[in-house]
Structure 1
């Protein structure tokens, strides 16, 4: 069995697209998954599955959510090894930063630098971003809510045709802990 994180995009924000976590846990269990747990109200769930097809798991969850709640919710499903590799590849000093200063946007497919070519990195300093494996790392020293770079990076033109959802570093570390194989610990620092 492989441990996965399901990352739901845009739920429980200002009362819109309400998906209670207890109902999400029940839904994942009814889909045949084990070890189901959720984290926060913002669309983070972990589960175990014998499947090795992240895309099929995400599609199945999207269909079940739409059937259960009556609205579409884009979902990404990533295994524990991927989550650990993306965290370990963080180009910013994660151990030295507050969780609100560092974010990862997970993408449904690989993205290349050409997509972001129109952004002048110097115009946003000290904020910075770097691309990774189906991920974008954002350093926003004043937090996401005040980040001008985050605003630009989330424009529809840059995310067109791609499922994307962001998590702050605290949530990244918590998902690592929740999906880690038994006996494995993650401290959230780069290795």
Structure 2
């Protein structure tokens, strides 16, 4: 069994695309996932699966949600080691003091037509970013609510992305570590 992390985009935001976590756990178990744990209501799940193809697993999860809830969200699957590497490569260690200031955008694939100079032009209020492998690190000490950089990153990278703040990423890692220890 492999430990996976599912990052489900755009659920339970502003009263739209409602998906209770208990229902998500049941859906994941129905497609063969085991030891399913969720974190907060924004679509984070850690589980074990025999499936070796992460893209196939992501599609199965999206279809299962579609059948039960009437919408098919974007689902990104990460292996536990991918999450650990993303954490280890954090280029903004100062964010540990205020974990809401750092967001990790997990990319579906590595971008090919980067527009990093356009992203750099959008920085303000101490914002900074780095693209390492398939992770877009955004340090936004003033928050991302009004950040033009945050709002345009996915479009300028040209790749599907789903983001989580440092606190969430750390909590997901902790859940995956406890699952690994219990296996």
| Aligned CA distance change for structure 1 residues 164 and 96 (closer, same or farther; 3 Å) | closer
Cα distance change, pair 96–172 in 1 and its aligned pair in 2 (3 A): closer
Q: Which moved more, 1:137-146 or 1:116-125?
A: 116-125
Looking at structure 1, the residues matched to 123 and 58 of structure 2 have their Cα atoms a distance apart, in angstroms, of: 36
| Inter-CA distance 123–167: structure 2 relative to 1 (3 Å threshold) | closer
What value does the CA root-mean-square deviation take over the aligned residues?
A: 1.9
Given that residues 125 and 141 in structure 2 are in contact (C-alpha distance below 8 angstroms), is that contact kept between their aligned partners in structure 1?
no
Alignment of 1:9 with 2:6, yes or no, is no
- TM-superposed deviation, 1:95: 6.0
1:171 aligns with 2:162: no
Q: Paired residue for 1:52? A: 52
Q: For 1:15, what is the secondary structure of its paired residue?
A: coil
Secondary structure at 1:182 match in 2: helix
Distance 1:82 1:123 in 2: 27
TM-score by length of 2: 0.90
CA-CA distance at 1:56 after TM superposition: 1.1
Three-state SS of the structure 2 residue aligned to 1:124 is: coil
- What does the per-residue CA deviation read over 1:79-112, in whole Å, with 9 as the maximum and x for residues that have no partner? 1000000110111115643111001001111124
Q: Structure 2: how far apart are the matches of 1:22 and 1:30?
A: 12
Q: Cα–Cα, structure 1 residues 122 and 18, in superposed 2: closer, same or farther, change >3 Å?
A: closer
Q: CA deviation at 1:18?
A: 0.6
Change (3 A) 1:21 1:10: same
In structure 1, runs of 5+ residues without a counterpart are 184-191
TM-score normalised per structure 1: 0.86
Do the aligned partners of residues 91 and 112 (structure 1) sit closer, same or farther apart at CA in structure 2, a change above 3 Å counting?
farther
Instruction: In structure 2, list runs of 5 or more residues that go unmatched.
Output: none
